[in-house]
Amino acid sequence: MQQRPSSETQIVVSDLHQTVTESDLYQQASQYGQVAYIRVLRHIDTKSSLGVAFINFIDAASVERARNEMNGLLFKGRVIRAMKFNKERDPEANIFVKNINENVTYKELESHFKGYGNILSSKISYDENGNSKKYGFVQFDKREAAQAAIANANGSVLRGSELQVAKFIPISSRIISANNNLYVRGFGADMTAERFHAIFSSFGEITSHVILSNKAKDGTERYFGFVCFATPENAASALQALNGKSDNGFTWYIAVHMNKKKRLALLRQENAKKQEDWKRRNIYIRGLPLNIDEEKLRKLFQEFGEIESIRIPKVENIRYQNSEMIKEFTVKGVAYILFAQPQSAIRAVQGMRDKSVEEKKLFVNLWKPREEIAKAINISKMKKMQSFMFDYGMMPGPMMGGRGRQQPRAMPGRGWAGPQQMGRGKPAFPPQGFPPQPFPQQPVYPPQAAFPPQQVAQPPPVPLNFDIKTYESAPPEFKKRMLGEALYPVVLKNSNQKIAGKITGMLLEMENEELLSLLTNPDGLKLKVGEAIDVLRRAWEGDNENLKLIEG
């Protein structure tokens, strides 16, 4: 059985247009080698594309070709980025390049820097209209290569433009070190412009300042302001000295002023760091008695280490008493405990797992973000669907991320079991004239048999718009790809874009000769597509999100 491709045969494609689907990528990527798996990342709630996809090939040579050809490719109106999958990227090996000529391509940029070391990825930034922003990034595998590029390529000329090359600085550090404008809030109506100026001028020269106000959602007046220093160093001093400090009944909140795009990027980065920290120190508890409170919970878990915080979620319930509506908040039987040290969280999980409190068995585990839990659920659903498909005699094809084609095998006492009989149930796609009984171990051919044992069957009819000569001379591994490319448009016509790739992969588990026959029999192929849709509908029963894919 063919092994599922590993990260060594995987590329990551980003900056994709939201309308790009797995089938679009398959048509492009299959030009560079045999594709084993494609997945477009989607938002957990909206199911919209996140503009990133993973593509697995069956060999490393295909990966190299695909990365070289797809990196910088104009695809569905967007210049896309392709890079080798690598979990251990060194942030110190990333360089920032600006003043790039607007006509420079990704390949030219890589060629300019490849002499300094092995390049994992490169990128040139473009605006929404496809115009170059004249800056980009080059990620090496080693920091020594990046240092050499900074030392030697800074000031070099590419297409008539003198490049400026520097170490890449993360957005959080870059914003703080290069900005002299601060956003300030926390104070109340008694703050005057004179006092505001006096407080901040102690840290350096101020070029401008202003105090503003607006109404919050609850109707209360909200005060905030901006102060611009002559230098970024003075702004950094004020931020460090005042942010979080209490003063005359309020607490200063000070941050570097930035536009919405930069602010959201910084928040995402900070949230990602927090989540990684919480995953190691935070535990989730389920099955608690409904009378549990923070004090009882602290007593139960304090033996495992210092506790920073405890949260017991509550839900709002409404009841009526004497025609009067009364709101009540009740616990859900779950809680979160944040320990000061990761070791304490691990001890708590090991010490309290499957323990009982007031005759209720607890479930205790390390906390995970909602996205990771949803991903695990989706993987579980996919495994169940694949198991269901096995029951109906079908193997998940390459577009479904399966393990590849399983070879026919002999089953003792039951005759030959081909691709249509590999499941534990009845075949999903019985071939034309398939007998109701298993083949006997020693088949007897009557004199009138069209194909006696020593006679070779005639080749099937040639499908329309199919180069049979190229097909016959192609290696076995390419024949399936050719058949898939011929099948896909017909499958798409009889289904929809969201499931056409999955169904094509399912059909490709049939024998090549049967697929050739199907390509000459539109009605038969339409019937097979309908049967595949029925299998998916049964496999996805109860899963409304996936069932919507069938409806298109």
**Contact 403/4 with Cβ under 8 angstroms?**
yes
Could you tell me the domains of the chain? Answer: 7-167 (3.30.70.330), 180-257 (3.30.70.330), 275-368 (3.30.70.330), 383-429+457-551 (1.10.1900.10)
What's the CA angle centered on 542, arms 539 and 548, to 5 degrees?
80
Residue spans of the chain under pLDDT 70: 1-7, 45, 87-88, 171-178, 382-466, 477
Residues with Cβ < 8 Å from 359, sequence gap 6 or more? none
Nearest CA-CA partner of 255 in 268, 271, 244: 244
Q: What is the pLDDT of residues 297-320, one digit of tens each?
A: 999 999 999 999 999 988 877 777
Residue with tokens 């069938």: 550
Residue with tokens 């400026």: 164
> % helix / strand / coil in the chain, to the nearest 5?
40, 25, 35
* Strand, coil or helix: 409: strand
Q: How far is CA 424 from CA 84, 97, 380, 417, 427, in A?
A: 39, 58, 20, 11, 9
Phi first, then psi, for residue 443 (nearest 5°) are: -65, 140
| Helix spans in 474-541 (H) | 476-493, 500-507, 512-519, 522-539
Name the token pair of 516.
């050739």
